[in-house]
Amino acid sequence: MITVKGQPIRTTNETFPETVWAEHVAHIDRIPRPIAMIGLLLIFLGLWQAVHVFGLVSPIILPSPAEVGRDILFVGSNLISGGYMLSAMWITAQEALLGFAFAITIGFSLGVLVGETSFGERAVLPYLVAIDTMPKVAFAPLFLAWLGFGISSKVALAAFIATFPIVVGTASGLYAADENARALFRSMGASRWQTLWRLKIPNGLPQIFTGLKIGAVGVMAGAITAEFLGGGKGLGELIRVAASQLQTPRVFSLILYLSLLGYLLFWTVVLLERRLVFWHRASATGIEEAR
Amino acid sequence: MMQQAVEAGVRHVPGRPIYQLRNVSRSYGAFRALTGINLDLTEGSFSSVIGPSGCGKTTLLKIMAGLAPPSTGSVILNGRPVMGPQRQIGMMFQQATLLPWRTAIDNILLPIEIRDGRQAARAHRDDAGALLDLVGLKGFENAYPRQLSGGMAQRTAICRMLITRPEVLLLDEPFSALDELSRDNMNLELQRVCLARNATAFLITHSIPEAVFLSDTVYIMSARPGRFSEAVTIDLPRPRTLEMMTTPEFGAYVTYIRNRLDEGAAP
Ligand SMILES: Nc1ncnc2c1ncn2[C@@H]1O[C@H](COP(=O)(O)OP(=O)(O)O)[C@@H](O)[C@H]1O
Ligand SMILES: [Mg+2]
């Protein structure tokens, strides 16, 4: 037996009463999410209806929820039956998708140039930062003048807006690899190319996807802005025409379907992110969950 | 255990030289991080460095590994000058630094994949599994790093270091982030591997008992500028056991080194 100063080591083994008690959760935080969300929507619609019932705002400026609802159904049926609105939506979708594809290609390449080479960081980055601070929508007339009123000028503006967040996301993603991991790769004799593809790019995916998500929002804004300014046959043109004819319910419902398009694009990116960046806590759960 | 004890008998016979450092120094601008380092490591020996934070231990290790050049002096490994990363070296750092998007086994195979490609890595899967087995992680082949505790992650890092069968192990405080129980187990594991493979090991540590437990020689470093102030030979039989840590001899080594470090720290 192990002893201390000739005595056995003393131990105690008392038992105590359980002290189990419930933590307090505020009532408002106990409401389940679907009920909370639907409830908030109903409150919003109720206030909107009240504005309408009391005649606070002219119906031309703000139509009633019911009117907008009817128009949403009308536009929806036109879309489903493959009417002219569907082809408008398809055109806007093409502009956004092509713009996104260009933005990803150019943004990722420039991001690697900036994040991986000191030439890129010293010579290219300052110009990118300078251009990024400009209001990029102001370039729209230039793109229209250069590329005409077809789809390409819209693609160009969409790509132009979305490229910068992707550059920034990619470059900061490449910077994110910590010194320990870099030392590990050097000690294994990894080439620059191997370090890039096996360490820096996968490690930087959370930042790259942040850039992609901002870019996905940006391409929609770019495509619509270019349509407002340069016509064409997309959803933006339909919105502009409806607004000029004071068809306010139509404007509302077109915006809704436009948002669905943007939402679809955004969610595609988020789902891809969850697949690829499953190992990163904040990317896989947390704030993204709510989206 | 018996077989290892037999192998251990060879250890104190001076082996062939592995590392020879002559007058190695390193400066960062005007700041002298290391000066006049001379070091000889023979095959199968285990050496430790202990010294205050910032005295240049990591700098020395990086120079030995060929990850950074010395400002003066020469580093010879196996008779050839070190001018870049070396194949026969395995390294470990304070953090396990596992890639979180790879499973344990794919992390272990990373050095093979980097050196010889994916196909070679696939061919070594069984080896990697055997290593996991060796460190008590059987069944964790497909676990991701976030599913591993700190000790398990560090064990996986040991496997990653060993998969290329390195002759030389360079270890920078590999276990200092672990609790004492895991640390003792890691030390046993490390000793076992070194004895079984006749590997030459060089360990940086802040733990005097760890240094005494593992080493044939403990180098005491002092700071500003970083240099070896003393080399203490640890004459304890191998393989060493955790019980030996309570013996008076072990305690004497620990006390001696602690006193020398305290003297070095005094102004
Ligand atoms: N890249 C560097 N540039 C400038 N100073 C450095 C650099 N790396 C290390 N040092 C300095 O050299 C000294 C030794 O560092 P290091 O070898 O990391 O010490 P240790 O590992 O013993 O704690 C420290 O004072 C540190 O600040
Ligand atoms: Mg250090």
Complex ipTM value: 0.85
Rounded distance from Cα A143 to ligand 1 centre (Å): 53
Cα angle A57-A62-A66, degrees, rounded to a multiple of 5: 115
Which range (A60-64, B20-24, B244-248) has the least confidence? Answer: A60-64
**Over residues A112-116, mean pLDDT:** 94
Backbone φ and ψ for B190, nearest 5 degrees, come out as: -65, -45
pLDDT recorded at residue A2: 76
Per-residue pLDDT tens for A201-218? 999 999 999 999 999 999
Of residues A10 and A276, more confidently modeled: A276
Give the single-character DSSP code of B167. Answer: S
Mean pLDDT over each residue of chain B, to the nearest integer: 89
B109 CB within 6 A, ligand 1: no
Asked whether residue B95 is assigned to any structural domain, the reply reads no
Question: Do B207 and B150 share a domain, yes or no?
Answer: no
Asked whether residue B23 is assigned to any structural domain, the reply reads no
Question: Do B117 and B148 share a domain, yes or no?
Answer: yes
In a 3-state reduction of DSSP, which class is residue A284?
helix
Please state the pTM of the whole predicted model: 0.84
Last residue of a domain, one of B131, B165, B199: B165
Q: What percent of chain A has pLDDT over 70?
A: 96
Cα angle B32-B35-B41, degrees, rounded to a multiple of 5: 140
Asked whether residue B156 is assigned to any structural domain, the reply reads yes
Read off the pLDDT band of A290 (50, 70, 90). very low
Q: Looking at ligand 1, which residue's alpha carbon is closest to its atom 8? A: B59
**Ligand 1 atom index nearest CA of B226:** 14
Mean pLDDT over each residue of chain A, to the nearest integer: 90
Question: Do B160 and B181 share a domain, yes or no?
Answer: no
Q: Looking at ligand 1, which residue's alpha carbon is closest to its atom 7? A: B28
Residue A235 in this model has a pLDDT that exceeds 80? yes
Give me the sheet containing B227-233, strands edge to edge: B89-92, B168-172, B200-204, B46-50, B217-222, B227-233
- Smallest CA-to-CA distance from B210 within B232, B242, B238 is with B242
Q: What percent of chain B has pLDDT over 70?
A: 94
Question: Do B108 and B231 share a domain, yes or no?
Answer: no
Q: Which residues pair with A8 in a beta bridge?
A: A3
Question: Do B57 and B180 share a domain, yes or no?
Answer: yes
Question: Do B148 and B185 share a domain, yes or no?
Answer: no
Query: Per the structure, how many domains does chain B have?
Result: 2
Question: Do B49 and B140 share a domain, yes or no?
Answer: no
Q: List, in order of start, the domains of chain A with CATH numbers.
A: 2-53 (no CATH), 65-285 (1.10.3720.10)
Question: Do B266 and B177 share a domain, yes or no?
Answer: yes
Q: How far is A152 from chain B (nearest CA, A)?
A: 39
Residues A154 and A222 sit within 8 Å (Cβ to Cβ): yes
Question: Do B184 and B149 share a domain, yes or no?
Answer: no
Per-residue pLDDT tens for B110-122? 999 999 999 999 9
Taking the C-alpha atoms of B246, B251, B254 and B258 in order, what is their torsion angle to the nearest 10 degrees? 130
Best of B86, B101, B148, B156 to disrupt the A interface (most A CBs within 10 Å) is B101
Residue A10 in this model has a pLDDT that exceeds 90? no
Report the chain A residue with the minimal C-alpha distance to residue B98: A181
- Which range of residues forms the domain containing residue B9? 1-15+43-65+168-267
Asked whether residue B117 is assigned to any structural domain, the reply reads yes
Residue A230 in this model has a pLDDT that exceeds 50? yes
Asked whether residue B185 is assigned to any structural domain, the reply reads yes
Last residue of a domain, one of B165, B180, B197: B165
**Over residues A230-255, mean pLDDT:** 92
Last residue of a domain, one of B165, B185, B212: B165
Q: Give every CB contact of residue A153 below 8 A, 6+ residues apart in sequence.
A: A140, A143, A144, A146, A147, A226, A230
Question: Do B124 and B174 share a domain, yes or no?
Answer: no
Residues B104 and B148 sit within 8 Å (Cβ to Cβ): yes
Residue A158 in this model has a pLDDT that exceeds 90? yes
**Over residues B152-171, mean pLDDT:** 93
Between the two ends of chain B, the Cα-to-Cα distance in Å is: 46
Domain at B228, CATH number: 3.40.50.300
Question: Do B51 and B127 share a domain, yes or no?
Answer: no
Question: Do B176 and B239 share a domain, yes or no?
Answer: yes
Asked whether residue B222 is assigned to any structural domain, the reply reads yes
Read off the pLDDT band of B183 (50, 70, 90). confident
List the 82-111 stretch of B: residues with Cβ below 8 A of A: 85-87, 89, 91, 93-95, 97, 99-101, 110-111
pLDDT recorded at residue A4: 83
Read off the pLDDT band of B170 (50, 70, 90). very high
Asked whether residue B128 is assigned to any structural domain, the reply reads yes
Residues B205 and B177 sit within 8 Å (Cβ to Cβ): no
Asked whether residue B204 is assigned to any structural domain, the reply reads yes
Tell me if chain A has a CB within 8 Å of the CB of B113: yes
